Amino acid sequence: MLPHFLRDGGPMMWMIMLASAVALAVFLERVLQYHREQINSAEFLNGVRNVLKRENVVEAIAICDATPGPVARLVKVAILNRERGRDAVYEALEDAGAWEVPRLEQKLNVLATIAQIAPLLGLLGTVLGFMDVFRQIQGAGQTAHVGQLSTGIWQSLICTAGGLGVAIPCYAGYNFLIGRVNAIVLDMEQCSTEILNMVSPAGK
């Protein structure tokens, strides 16, 4: 059925399908990336805490290097800056967090853009289809029949459906990924507070 839609939908349908392929690639890449970067932060921090209690800083940094994700990178920043005082550690964590968040949001704008333009591509295909209908009517005059008009009407309907069919899952996927980003950012904030108190208790 898809080849028929591509053939009858006209050139704009190919543009819509290309946009959907890009959106799918971005969505899958981000899902896999967030799956790798979202760790069990409580278990990770307990491991780091136990190592730091033994004052084994080298092993604590090695644990951070072996653990993927922004939480581990923030903890490493705090450990490396632990001797500079609480304010310096806090500032270092703020700077590292400000770098990590845009990294997490990378490529999401592509998905949001496709969700916005897919209906417009469908609308453009619809307009082109109806332009073909009126061209057929103008050329045939009073002798125009349904068979001559059906191609343009069919193209219009396919493009409209195609644009909406791409935009709806793109919008849902974008919101799903934003939720994953927010969950990781929340982990980062909680872990930043815990590691700050761990390496530089209040009052020091």
DSSP 8-state assignment for residue 184: H
Do 30 and 109 touch, CB atoms closer than 8 A?
no
What share of the chain in percent tops pLDDT 70?
86
pLDDT band at 2 (very low <50, low <70, confident <90, very high): low
CA 199 to chain CA mean position, Å: 33
Do 36 and 67 touch, CB atoms closer than 8 A?
no
Q: What are the C-alpha distances in Å from 130 to residues 124, 141, 147, 188?
A: 10, 16, 14, 53
Do 152 and 136 touch, CB atoms closer than 8 A?
yes
Cβ within 8 Å of residue 45, ≥6 positions away? 75, 191, 194, 195, 198
Confidence (pTM) = 0.83
Q: How far apart are CA 144 and CA 137, in angstroms?
A: 6
Question: What mean pLDDT, rounded, does the chain reach?
Answer: 86
pLDDT tens digits, one per residue of 5-32:
566 677 888 899 999 999 999 999 999 9
Rg value, the chain, Cα: 27
Nearest partner of 159 among 193, 131, 119, 188, judged by Cα: 119
